[in-house]
């Protein structure tokens, strides 16, 4: 962009091209004048746009920024963006206000941001559902997930396969063997149809060639209550929701869904050790409304990366079982595309119907 602006400034500083009349008076012919005015007007408009974009980036933000979170307040999914919002506010010297808009499988908040002005002052901090899963379950989705301007995937946490302590199997191989011997007998719980824990369980069934009975709940809280009581057998759940329950002996871990073992439970194997390529995490992304300037998105991404490097942010994330992630806008775009295709394949193989 600097080269373009420099070239434009150099052009406007040059003397106008003149065409002499036969008597040599140096006047500009009317036709040439009209042409020259048109060209300069076009270049002037071009110049006006580019410096405006550059100034917008340099001055951003000049007022409060709304960070829409499509989950209820109080959960880890709400705490993570609040940590980021507080640090961005300090960095920008402008308020970054969290606005919770839960509902319709997190799609309500996403739709709100999709229809917001593309000026960088309304952003979406969301788990993966609205960006990579919802389009396969909601045929009349009120927004296009691919139209958001990606900024960063900034946090992720492992998913663990956990079981009630009284469940027959104590390891993943034992679970697979039991499931093969007893098709459909294992009750597999999830916080809802189409949630990432649900689809991770479907992916395990596909890769292992087994069949569970899926028991969907309306959220993670009632699921955990029934899992602790033994009314269901197993579930995939976030590390932050399970770490203390595992340490207290109220749940037993069978495997982690991340690519490799995690420091919190180094003796618990990754599913990928038995089924190479198996991978699922819970993650958080920051995106902007469609048509938001790439320059604004890049600036937010750079500032967010600086925030995530702060030791106190890393320490707070670790307390929540969350790992900071630094993805550029282009890396985020590629990641979202890859995730969306992976879940599409899982949904298709499982034959899960649209809601």
Q: Tens digits of per-residue pLDDT, 239-294? A: 989 999 999 999 999 999 999 999 999 999 999 999 999 999 999 999 999 999 99
Structural tokens at position 71: 């989950």
Same-domain check for residues 48 and 98: no
Same-domain check for residues 196 and 220: yes
H/E stretch holding 207: helix 196-208
Q: Are 242 and 265 in contact (CB under 8 A)?
A: no
Q: Tens digits of per-residue pLDDT, 28-42? A: 444 443 443 343 344
Same-domain check for residues 198 and 51: no
Same-domain check for residues 196 and 288: yes
Residue 1, CB-side half-sphere exposure with 13 Å CA sphere: 12
Q: Tens digits of per-residue pLDDT, 58-100? A: 789 999 999 999 999 988 889 999 999 999 999 999 999 999 9
Residue 177, CB-side half-sphere exposure with 13 Å CA sphere: 7
Last residue of a domain, one of 18, 35, 59: 59
- Could you say which DSSP state residue 134 is in? G
Same-domain check for residues 253 and 321: yes
Structural tokens at position 110: 């996403």
- Could you say which DSSP state residue 116 is in? S
0.95 exceeded by pTM: no
Q: How many domains does the chain have?
A: 2
Task: Write the CATH number for 64.
Answer: 3.40.190.150
CA distances from 67 to 56, 97, 288 (A): 19, 6, 10
In 3D, which of 205, 251, 247 has the Cα closest to residue 349?
205
Same-domain check for residues 152 and 203: yes
pLDDT at 15 over 50: no
Q: Could you tell me the pLDDT band of residue 57, with boundaries at 50, 70 and 90?
A: low
Cis? peptide before 25, omega within 30° of 0: no
Same-domain check for residues 21 and 97: no
Same-domain check for residues 69 and 13: no
* Structural domain span for residue 47: 2-59
Share of the chain above pLDDT 90, in %: 77
């Amino acid at each position: 962009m600097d080269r373009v602006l420099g070239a434009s400034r150099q052009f406007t500083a040059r003397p106008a091209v003149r065409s002499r009349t036969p008597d040599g008076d140096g006047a500009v012919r009317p036709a040439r004048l009209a042409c020259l005015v048109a060209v300069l007007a076009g270049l002037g408009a071009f110049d006006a746009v580019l410096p405006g974009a550059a100034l917008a980036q340099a001055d951003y933000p000049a007022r409060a920024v709304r960070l829409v979170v499509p989950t209820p307040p109080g959960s880890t999914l709400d705490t993570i963006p609040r940590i980021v919002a507080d640090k961005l506010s300090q960095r920008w010297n402008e308020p970054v206000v969290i606005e919770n808009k839960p509902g319709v499988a997190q799609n309500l908040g996403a739709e709100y941001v999709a229809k917001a002005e593309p000026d960088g002052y309304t952003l979406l901090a969301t788990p993966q559902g609205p960006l990579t899963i919802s389009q396969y379950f909601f045929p009349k989705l009120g927004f296009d997930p691919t139209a958001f301007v990606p900024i960063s995937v900034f946090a992720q946490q492992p998913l663990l396969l956990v079981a009630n302590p009284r469940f027959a199997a104590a390891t993943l191989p034992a679970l697979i063997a039991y499931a093969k011997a007893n098709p459909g007998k294992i009750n597999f719980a999830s916080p809802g149809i189409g949630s990432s824990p649900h689809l991770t369980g479907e992916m395990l069934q596909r890769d292992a060639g087994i069949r569970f009975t899926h028991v969907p709940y309306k959220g993670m809280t009632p699921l955990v209550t029934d899992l602790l009581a033994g009314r269901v057998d197993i579930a995939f759940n976030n590390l932050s929701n399970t770490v203390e329950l595992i340490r207290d002996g109220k749940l037993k871990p069978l495997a982690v869904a991340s690519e490799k073992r995690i420091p919190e439970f180094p003796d618990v194997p990754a599913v990928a050790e038995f089924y190479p390529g198996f991978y699922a995490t819970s993650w958080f992304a920051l995106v902007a409304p469609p048509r938001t300037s790439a320059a604004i998105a890049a600036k937010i991404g750079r500032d967010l990366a600086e925030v995530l490097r702060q030791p106190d942010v890393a320490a707070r994330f670790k307390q929540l079982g969350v790992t900071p992630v630094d993805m550029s806008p282009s890396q985020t775009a590629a990641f979202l595309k890859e995730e969306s295709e992976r879940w599409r394949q899982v949904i298709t193989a499982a034959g899960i119907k649209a809601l």
